[in-house]
Amino acid sequence: MARKKRTPEEFSIDPAAQQMLIRADELGIGTAFTRADDMAPCPIGADGMCCKICGMGPCRLTKDGSTGICGATIDTIQARNLIRAISAGAAAHSDHGRDMAFTLKAVANDETEGYVIRDVAKLRTIAQIYDIPIEGRPPKEIANDLADLYIAQFGQQKGEVVLIKRAPEKRQKIWREQGVIPRGIDREVVEALHRTHIGDDQDPEHILQHAIRTALGDGWGGSLLATDISDILFGTPAPVLGQANLGVLKENMVNVVVHGHEPTLSEMIVAASQDPEIIAYAKAAGADGVNLSGICCTANEILMRQGIPAAGNFLQQELAILTGSVEAMVVDVQCIMQALVGLARNFHTKIITTSPKVKIKGATHIQFDEHHALTIAKDILRTAIDNFQNRGETKIPNVREDLIPGFSHEYINYMLGGSYRSSFRPLNDAVMSGRIRGIAAIVGCNNPRSQHDYLHTYITRELLKQDVLVVETGCGAIASAKLGLLLGEAGLDQVGPGLREICETIGIPPVLHMGSCVDNTRILTVLTQIVAEGGLGDDIDQVPAVGLAPEWMSEKALSIGAYCVASGAYVIFGGTSPVSGMPDRVADSDLVSHLISDGWEKIYGGKLEFIADPDEMIRKTLAHIDKKRAALGLPEYDPNRYGRSGDARMLELEELPWTERREALYGVAAD
Ligand code: SF4
Ligand code: MSK
């Protein structure tokens, strides 16, 4: 039976994306959206029921009681598939962290070009956590010690990854009792691959226990140190005005789109684009200058630090090229579609790969090396500028939205109390009183199997109405940005009264953009600081909070989900479960689903569930938040109890005669 073809409106809720999808259709060019329509997912693989780890297979277990040729059961196969995906995700994040650590080491030893230590205060704060001496030492000496310590975490063979000590003490105790504290970041990934080789670990529960250890090496290891070093080298984010969507591309300028994940190159391209020599070179080519923008998490990195606009999220990488206005798309690692090269042949766009780890046939490779970072960044920009003359017909959607990103945990701490009284107390108090019902972290990718941006933004909007404070990272954050939910007062008419009161009082948007996908560690840090502040339990699993990845697609998302669960969070993924096992066909195939939900909840207090229906996701989120509130003895959430902020109340009072206003304000009765 022919599959139904979706319309541009069914593909995406984003009007800019819709315009480009219409253009693609007119030009007869395929995109991930149309390829998703053309390619039905394999139902056996999608449900984790296929094993292909040895040459006797692939084995497809589609009947009750069937096993692979080696005798492997459906439970073993599903657990193996899941841990392999989690390990790949953990490896990707952590390898990014490794490169950051080597860059820090090179900066400390004056071996780089163009980099400086921008946040010395954060360097000193982080060094102190690990008892690295700071008094009387120059920043580069401290940075060298920190880099050595962090580099050592990857190859460490025994003991505990040192970053674990940043989790709440009670949580560390649970991990120690369970034997899941990572010994070394790389060791756990290697062991996951070993355990899942033919003829090794075959107990699903035991395999999944190691999945947790591997994921913890990501969340409380490689990703956490990546965030630390990015802040030290490029500055800890603070609110800054930015813009998002394809309308940030400019007709009269050389458009360079940076895409991928690592800030090391993109930060240098930002610096190079402002160099008078490069601006003059662009003008000589007939352009007004170089216009930089980002896609995916590279976009988030330079958006939250430099205010460089985001052209879009994951599913917009092809659409940016379809505008015909992109001279170069410069990619590093992760989430880069191979289809870009073929698509770019229809236009003048050059796809430039830069990482020694990532090459794409047909792309131009200009290898990045931090020792000559600024020189290479300028070379890349000159290549893009030279391409400006080849530009053909363009169609840039006039769609963009302002946003305020940059809510690092350091800034959240500061914004709640200022320089002298910075503290999480006001946030904890707001949750305890019920003005804020709870917290939701809505993170993760886009997936062309669902309507682009719809699940992210529908769930975000509905939770805001319920007085749930939302924090976001990754492509989910860009989805909300495009909808205007990350812009201070602009989004406040869409939120519940108690949350609105808090947002107005502090002066924040109802959705806080906290960074890229490695920056989910910022959310772990916020939860740890909430616990340390007091009043919301003594461990993360007691905080009324939920994590959601409604449009997930990457293995990194699975690693994030697993380390958040191990940290005590209830995590809900949208779409289909990779371990669902089609229970109607294989009756005993729900063990792994059970182990990662109820099983992990018994041990860690957090659980991982896959729920396709967005309303069910919202219902379960609110039920979990209310359950946690009740367990803490907090007042039941009442939407009518709060909601008149100081500003709103003063406006009401201004309408009253003075005597009544005086009574309301000062309690002085009318004469
Ligand atoms: Fe089949 Fe077992 Fe080989 Fe997997 S490991 S492909 S189940 S024989
Ligand atoms: S880029 S991992 S699609 S969030 Fe981090 Fe977006 Fe997901 Fe890639």
CA of 205 to the centre of ligand 1 (A): 19
* DSSP H or E stretch at residue 546: strand 545-549
Lowest mean pLDDT among 79-83, 508-512, 616-620: 508-512
* 107 pLDDT higher than 90: yes
**Residue corresponding to tokens 């993170």:** 443
- The partner residues of 441 in beta bridges, in order of sequence, read 471, 547
- Domains 242-390 and 404-637 agree in fold: yes
Q: What is the pLDDT of residues 186-227, one digit of tens each?
A: 999 999 999 999 999 999 999 999 999 999 999 999 999 999
Domain 74-234 has CATH 3.30.200.20: no
Which pTM does this prediction carry?
0.94
Identity of residue 642: Y
pLDDT of residue 471: 95
Atom of ligand 1 nearest to the CA of 52: 6
Share of the chain above pLDDT 70, in %: 95
Half-sphere exposure of 229 (CA within 13 A, CB side): 35
Q: What is the pLDDT of residues 461-500, one digit of tens each?
A: 999 999 999 999 999 999 999 998 898 776 677 789 999 9
Q: DSSP character for 513?
A: E
Q: Is the CB of 552 under 6 A from ligand 2?
A: no
CA 330 to chain centre: 20
Separation of alpha carbons 175 and 180, rounded Å: 5
pLDDT of residue 504: 85
Give nearest CA residue, ligand 1 atom 6.
Answer: 57
* 622 pLDDT higher than 70: yes
Q: Residue 551: how many CB atoms within 10 A of its CB?
A: 31
- Mean pLDDT of the 256-284 span: 95
Contact 182, 214 (CB under 8 A): yes
pLDDT of residue 412: 85
Q: What is the pLDDT of residues 47-95, one digit of tens each?
A: 888 999 999 999 999 888 899 999 999 999 999 999 999 999 999 999 9
Q: Which fold has domain 404-637?
A: Rossmann fold (3.40.50)
Among the bound ligands, name the one nearest to the CA of residue 556.
2
Three-class SS of residue 579?
coil
pLDDT of residue 667: 67
Atom of ligand 2 nearest to the CA of 517: 5
Domain ranges of the chain: 9-60, 74-234, 242-390, 404-637, 643-671
Rounded to the nearest 5 percent, the helix, strand and coil shares of the chain are: 50, 10, 40
What is the residue-wise DSSP string for 108-148? Answer: HTT-SSS-----HHHHHHHHHHTT---TT--HHHHHHHHHH
Measured at the CA of 574, the angle between CA 541 and CA 616, to 5 degrees, comes to 75
Which residue among 95, 262, 556 is best mutated to probe the pocket of ligand 2, counting the most ligand atoms within 8 A of its Cβ?
A: 556
Among the bound ligands, name the one nearest to the CA of residue 60.
1
Separation of alpha carbons 44 and 56, rounded Å: 18
Give nearest CA residue, ligand 1 atom 4.
Answer: 51
Atom of ligand 2 nearest to the CA of 474: 4
Provide φ and ψ at 18, rounded to 5°.
-60, -45
CA of 355 to the centre of ligand 2 (A): 17
CA dihedral 316, 243, 227, 491 (to 10 degrees): -100
pLDDT of residue 322: 98
Q: Is the CB of 296 under 6 A from ligand 2?
A: yes
Give nearest CA residue, ligand 1 atom 7.
Answer: 68
Q: Which residues contact 77 (CB under 8 A, 6 or more apart)?
A: 48, 49, 50, 51, 59, 61, 68
CA dihedral 535, 539, 545, 549 (to 10 degrees): 160
**Residue corresponding to tokens 């896609």:** 295
CA of 50 to the centre of ligand 1 (A): 9
Q: Residue 145: how many CB atoms within 10 A of its CB?
A: 16
Q: Is the CB of 474 under 6 A from ligand 2?
A: yes
* 662 pLDDT higher than 90: no
Separation of alpha carbons 303 and 310, rounded Å: 7
Q: Is the CB of 554 under 6 A from ligand 2?
A: yes
The CATH code that applies to domain 242-390 is 3.40.50.2030
- Mean pLDDT of the 314-318 span: 98
* 583 pLDDT higher than 80: no
Atom of ligand 2 nearest to the CA of 445: 7
What pLDDT band is residue 102 in, cutting at 50, 70 and 90? Answer: very high
Q: Is the CB of 295 under 6 A from ligand 2?
A: no
Identity of residue 659: T
pLDDT of residue 43: 84
pLDDT of residue 650: 66
What is the token pair recorded at 658? 């003075």
Identity of residue 380: I
